[in-house]
């Protein structure tokens, strides 16, 4: 029944009950179905008519106007004191369960959620950040200021256009970790969903670590990143990690030719983080012979990955590769190569990421060295 028909029926039931105050549900329902012109030609379920009529009679017998809503229905109100207590116990608190808060306050967890939503609060997922101590924060601020003063300023000749930001990625897995909170399948029943509910995972998933870089002019190398599993095969016995000698070989064989193809005039400004393998004698010699300019590792600080744009490249690759659901390492490598080449062709992305470095440095200074989002 639409709202207009309901309003008309309420007025007629009100008039009928005023004439026959002792009328019962069956009598009023029969009158509505048989003697009332409003329902002629209207298809209405019998149960709907009965429940509607029962509610109107109940209002009349309680001394209320049938045409108006009956007060006192709905969930009970919660006191302002309890609302305040819920917000005090929950808002901006770590590891705070709505069920635990509900038990402490004496309400249901759904009530806790309603109070928080009414207050404009929203549940936010946590994100991973670097673990920073006070010394890290101080060094981050110092280096960010140094970058703004000596590297980003216009007096420095716009060196951002020549900066080559490089790093190793974390392990990109064949079967990435799933977010079980959001990874759902909407279905009428579990049996109807079938195999789509199976989340196939390996206990020890294989993966690939890669090396690469980004500059204003493109990715380094431009055709594909350096796959460390292939790079390790060049040594006997096959190592498990990269050392300083191997890093110097990587620079001479892969990095230097790739950078020279982008900056044939030798104007590139090399950057790698101050990791131990980057500061050994062999690595320093390889860098000094391959590049005329480099960002001094003595000036840099550790834990600056939230500023360097190469980390954004790793994030994009992981996100796009995860959607393809690779089944083995070869498929993973092919997909990484495909995404890498797509990103290399996106010159606007390179410029946008490199131009964001000054703003990120300013954000580090403004946050007193804390992690920036």
Q: What is the CATH number of the domain that holds 359?
A: 3.30.420.10
pLDDT reading at 354 higher than 70: yes
Is residue 323 in a domain? yes
Model confidence over 108-122: pLDDT tens digits? 999 999 999 998 888
Whether residues 214 and 268 share a domain: the answer is yes
How many independent structural domains does the chain possess?
3
pLDDT (tens digit, 9 = 90+) per residue, 242-277?
A: 999 999 999 999 999 999 999 999 999 999 988 889
Co-location of 206 and 281 in the same domain: yes
E-state strands within 67-188: 163-168, 172-173
Q: pLDDT value at position 249?
A: 95
| Domain assignment of residue 143, given as a range | 134-366
Residue 337 has a pLDDT of: 96
- Give tens-digit pLDDT for 85-143: 999 999 888 888 889 999 999 999 999 999 999 988 888 877 777 788 899 999 999 99
Q: Do 149 and 289 fall into the same domain?
A: yes
Domain shared by 285 and 163, yes or no:
yes
Closest CA to 166 of 267, 246, 278, 241: 278
Q: What angle do CA 150, 153, 159 make, to 5 degrees?
A: 75
If asked whether residues 102 and 56 sit together in one domain, one would say no
The lowest-confidence range among 72-86, 113-127, 183-197, 214-228 is 183-197
Q: What is the pLDDT of residue 177?
A: 60
By the 8 A CB rule, do 296 and 278 touch? Answer: no
Per the CB < 8 A criterion, the answer to whether 107 and 77 are in contact is no
35-64: average pLDDT: 79
Q: Is residue 109 part of a domain?
A: yes
Q: Which two tokens stand for residue 283?
A: 């690595």
Whether 52 and 146 share a structural domain: no
Residue 72 lies in a domain: no
Mean pLDDT over 64-77 rounds to 72
Instruction: Specify whether 173 is located in the same domain as 255.
Output: yes
**How high is the pLDDT of residue 131?**
84
Tell me: pLDDT of 183 over 90: no
pLDDT of residue 56: 84
Q: Say how far apart CA 136 and CA 193 lie, in whole Å.
A: 49
Containing 361, the helix (H) or strand (E) segment is helix 357-366
Residue 295 and residue 215 share a domain: yes
pLDDT at 32: 79
335 Cβ contact list (under 8 Å, min separation 6): 320, 321, 324, 326
pLDDT at 157 over 60: no
Do 258 and 168 sit in the same domain of this protein? yes
Q: Please, how many CA atoms are within 13 Å of residue 215, restricted to the half-sphere of its CB?
A: 24
In this structure, the answer to whether residues 206 and 323 fall within a common structural domain is: yes
Asked, for residue 8, whether it belongs to a domain, the answer is: yes
- The predicted model gives 194-217 an average pLDDT of 78
Nearest to 208 by CA among 337, 90, 117, 41: 337
Residue 53 — very low, low, confident or very high, per pLDDT cuts 50/70/90?
confident
Give residue 188's pLDDT band: very low, low, confident or very high (50, 70, 90). low
| List of E strands, 126-278 | 163-168, 172-173, 207-208, 210-215, 218-220, 226-227, 269-271
């Amino acid at each position: 029944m639409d709202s207009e028909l309901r309003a008309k029926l309420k007025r007629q039931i009100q008039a009928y009950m005023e004439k026959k105050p002792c009328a019962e549900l069956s009598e009023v329902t029969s009158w509505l179905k048989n003697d009332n012109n409003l329902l002629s030609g209207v298809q209405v379920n019998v149960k709907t008519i009965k429940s509607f009529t029962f509610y109107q009679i109940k209002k009349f017998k309680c001394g209320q106007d049938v045409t108006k809503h009956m007060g006192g229905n709905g969930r009970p109100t919660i006191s302002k004191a309890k609302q305040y207590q819920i917000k005090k116990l929950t808002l901006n608190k770590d590891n705070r369960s709505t069920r635990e808060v509900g038990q402490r306050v004496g309400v249901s967890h759904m009530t806790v959620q309603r109070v928080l939503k009414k207050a404009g609060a929203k549940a936010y997922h946590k994100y991973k950040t670097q673990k920073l101590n006070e010394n890290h924060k101080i060094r981050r601020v110092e280096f960010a200021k140094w970058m703004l003063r000596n590297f980003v300023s216009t007096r420095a000749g716009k060196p951002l256009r020549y900066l080559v930001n490089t790093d190793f990625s974390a392990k990109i897995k064949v079967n990435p970790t799933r977010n079980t909170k959001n990874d759902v399948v909407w279905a009428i029943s579990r049996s109807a969903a079938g195999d789509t509910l199976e989340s196939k995972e390996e206990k020890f998933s294989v993966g690939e670590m890669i090396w690469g870089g980004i500059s204003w002019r493109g990715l380094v190398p431009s055709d594909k990143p350096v796959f460390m599993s292939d790079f390790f095969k060049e040594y006997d016995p096959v190592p498990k990690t990269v050392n300083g000698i191997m890093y110097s070989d990587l620079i001479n064989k892969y990095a230097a030719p790739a950078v020279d193809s982008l900056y044939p005039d030798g104007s590139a400004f090399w950057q790698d983080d101050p990791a131990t393998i980057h500061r050994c004698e062999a690595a320093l010699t390889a860098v000094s012979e391959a590049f005329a300019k480099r960002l001094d590792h003595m000036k840099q600080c550790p834990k600056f990955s939230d500023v360097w744009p190469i980390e954004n490249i790793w994030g994009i690759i992981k996100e796009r590769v995860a959607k393809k659901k690779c089944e083995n390492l070869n498929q993973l490598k092919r997909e990484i190569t495909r995404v890498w080449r797509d990103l290399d062709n996106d010159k606007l992305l390179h410029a946008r990421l490199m131009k964001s470095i000054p703003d990120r440095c300013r954000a580090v200074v403004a946050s007193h060295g804390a992690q920036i989002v």
